[in-house]
Structure 1
Amino acid sequence: MLFPRAVVCTRQLAVAGPRRFASTSPPAGPAKPSNLPYLLLGSGVAGIATYIYLEKNGVGSKKVEEKKQEKSPLDPQNFVDFKLKKIEPYNHNTAKFTFELPENEASLLPVASCVVVKSSDPEALKDAKGRPVIRPYTPISPSDKKGELTFLIKKYDSGKMTVHIHDLKPGDSLSIKGPIPKWPWKMNEFEDVGMIAGGSGITPMYQILNHALTDPSNKTKFKLIFANLTEPDILLREEFDALKKKYPNNFDVIYTLDKPSSDWTGSTGYVSSDLIKKTFSPASAGEKVKIFVCGPPGQLIALAGKKDGMKQGEVGGTLKELGYTEDQVYKF
C-alpha cells in the first residue's frame, strides 16, 4: 500500500516544476518507531483467518467431503407422513406424484423394493371391515435422488387408494412405510433377463432397468415385453426408448397393444408363447436367465401362475408350458 502512494507523490512533484528545497539534508532528529512489525503482524493474522475460513467452507484445495447419508428417512416398521410436493399429469388417467423427503435426504430404497401407503387421516380411507386401506407402490425416482420420492400412479375408478391419491393437493400428506424388499438385485448375476409387464406393473421393471443399465459395470442383457390396452396407456415410453437408444447392446423393449389404432405398427394382442420364445432366452439357458413378471392378476396368472399370498407359488401358465422353472421366474 505504501509504494503506489510514493509513486503518485513523485509524479506530482515532477509536474510542479523545479524543486524548492536545499540539496543538503535537514538536521537529524530523534528516530521515529517503525510501523512495519505491526503491519506484518496484522497481515499474518488476516491471512490465517482467511485460510481458516476457506478451509472450513471447502473453498481451498482440500474440500470438505459431504457427510454420507447412512439411514433412509423411511421406516420399514412404521408409517411416516410425507408431504406432497408436486403433481405432474402424465396422460389421461396417470400422474407423477412427488413427495418431499426431509433434510434433502435420499430414500436409499434398495433395488428392487417397494413401499406401502395409506391415508394420513386414519378415518378417511377404510375397507368394508373398517380397516385402513393399504396398497403397495414402487417409486420411479432413483434411490439416491435427494429430497424427493416420486410415484407414477394410474387412477382406477374402482380403486380406493388411487382415487384418494389423485384427490391429493400439493401440501397434503400421505403415510408411507418401507422399504418392502422384493427381488435383491445383484449386478451381473444373470446373462439375460426377460421382463413381462402389464399396465402400471411396469414400475418395478423400470426401477431395475434404470439402476442396472446406468451402471458402467453392467453386462446383463435385458428384454422387456410391455403390454397395454392402447398406445396412450404406455407408461414411461420416452424413458424406455431413451434407454434403448443409449444402451442398444443391453436393452430392447417390445410394446404390444390389445386395442391398437389403425396406424400402429408394433405387436398386437396378449403376450403369447410365440412372442416370448422370439424375445427371451430359452429355459434351457438354466441359471443364466431370469424372467420377471408384473401386471394385473389375470395377466400374472395366465403367464406365470398365481402367487401364494406373499410367497411366489408354483410356476404356471405360459412360462411353465415353455419349460421355465421356479428358479427362473419371479412374480412381483
Structure 2
Amino acid sequence: MWSGVEWGWTYLTTPLGILFFGQFLCCIMDFLQTSEGQLFVGVAVGLVAVGAAAYFLFSSKKTKVCLDPENFKEFKLVKKTQLSHNVAKFRFELPTPTSVLGLPIGQHISCRGKDSQGEEVIKPYTPTTLDSDVGHFELVIKMYPQGRMSHHFREMRVGDYLSVKGPKGRFKYQPGQVRAFGMLAGGSGITPMFQVARAILENPNDKTKVHLIYANVTFEDILLKVISNLSSSTHSFERCTCANFTVNGK
C-alpha cells in the first residue's frame, strides 16, 4: 500500500496535478502582490528573524560543562589569595562566563603538575566552589614543604594553566539522601566536607543536618572558617553543628 506522500507525488506528476499546482502557484503570486500579501510576508520575515535571534541568544547563554573524565583540560589561574603561611586559594577561569565545571556534589578532580625535579605528578583535589558558581572554580590548597604537587601550586602565578580531569569518585550526593551527615575531618581534608556541607546549607529545601568535627594542629591551620558563617545563617542555624579543635590547644 502506498503512503500518503507517495500518492501525493504521483498525483502531482500527472497532467491534471501539474495544472492544479500551476494554478495554485499563480494564486499565491497574485496574493503576494497585494498589500495584504506584502504584510503577510513582512510578518513572516519578522517572525523568522525573532526566532533566529532567540535561538542564538539561548545557545550563547546555555550552560557549558567543562570537565572531561578521560582527558586533561587546561584552566587559567586568574587569582591567587594567600590565606595563611602555607595555604592559598586559587581561582581558575572557565571558558565562558556562563560555563560550569560540571562536578557532582561529593566528587573530586585530578590535577596534573610537575614536582621540584620536573617529574609529572597527579593528585586529587576537591573544589570549594559548586556549579552554582558560574565562570570559575576555586581550590584551597595546603602546601607542604616536601609535597610534590604542593611544589607545583607554590610556583603557580596568575596567568599559568592547570591541567584538570574529572569528575572522579563514586559518591554523589542528592538532596534529602539521608537525614543527617556526621563528618570527621583534619587539616586540608576539610575540602570534601565543605563541598557537601555548602551544597546542603545553601539549599533551603534540603533539610539534611550536618555535624562536623574538624581537627588541626594550631588555630592558624583551620581552613575554610566560612563554614561557621554558613552555619550561623538564618536558614542553616538549626541544621549545622561545627566543632573545631587543635592538637596543641593553641
Residue of structure 2 aligned with 1:107, choices 80, 93, 101: 101
Q: What is the letter of the counterpart of residue 228 of structure 1?
A: N
The answer on whether the counterparts of 1:107 and 1:144 sit within 8 Å (CA) in structure 2 is: no
Cα displacement (A) at 1:125? 3.5
Unpaired stretches in structure 1, ≥5 consecutive residues: 1-47, 59-63, 127-131, 262-332
The answer on whether the counterparts of 2:72 and 2:163 sit within 8 Å (CA) in structure 1 is: yes
**Distance (Å, rounded) in 1 between the aligned partners of 2:115 and 2:89:** 24
**Distance (Å, rounded) in 1 between the aligned partners of 2:181 and 2:143:** 30
Residue 95 and residue 123 in structure 1: after superposition, are their counterparts in 2 closer, same or farther (change >3 A)?
closer
**Distance (Å, rounded) in 1 between the aligned partners of 2:144 and 2:247:** 18
- The aligned counterpart of 1:327 is none
Residue 90 and residue 50 in structure 1: after superposition, are their counterparts in 2 closer, same or farther (change >3 A)?
farther
**Distance (Å, rounded) in 2 between the aligned partners of 1:255 and 1:52:** 61
- The aligned counterpart of 2:12 is none
Q: What is the letter of the counterpart of residue 198 of structure 1?
A: G
**Distance (Å, rounded) in 2 between the aligned partners of 1:215 and 1:158:** 39
**Distance (Å, rounded) in 1 between the aligned partners of 2:170 and 2:187:** 19
**Which structure is higher in helix share?**
2
| Mapping of residues 117-156 of structure 1, within 5 Å | 117-119=111-113, 125-126=118-119, 132-156=120-144
State TM-score, norm by structure 2: 0.73
**Distance (Å, rounded) in 2 between the aligned partners of 1:122 and 1:74:** 24
Aligned residues: 214
Residue of structure 1 aligned with 2:239, choices 250, 253, 257: 250
Partner deviation per Cα, 1:96-147 (whole Å, 9 max, x = no partner): 011111123110100111111112x799642xxxxx2111100111123222
- The aligned counterpart of 2:219 is 231
Q: What is the letter of the counterpart of residue 168 of structure 1?
A: M
The answer on whether the counterparts of 1:114 and 1:182 sit within 8 Å (CA) in structure 2 is: no
Structure 1 position 76 matched with structure 2 position 69: yes
Considering Cα pairs closer than 8 Å and 6+ residues apart, tell me whether 1 or 2 has the greater RCO. Answer: 2
Residue 122 and residue 241 in structure 1: after superposition, are their counterparts in 2 closer, same or farther (change >3 A)?
closer
Question: Which is greater in Rg?
Answer: 1
How big is the alpha-carbon RMSD for the aligned residues of Structure 1 and Structure 2?
Answer: 3.2
Q: What is the letter of the counterpart of residue 138 of structure 1?
A: T
Q: Percent of aligned positions with the same letter in both sequences?
A: 35
**Distance (Å, rounded) in 2 between the aligned partners of 1:123 and 1:167:** 10
**Distance (Å, rounded) in 2 between the aligned partners of 1:136 and 1:235:** 18
Unpaired stretches in structure 2, ≥5 consecutive residues: 1-43
State TM-score, norm by structure 1: 0.56
For the residue of structure 2 that corresponds to 1:255, the secondary structure is: strand
Structure 1 position 177 matched with structure 2 position 171: no
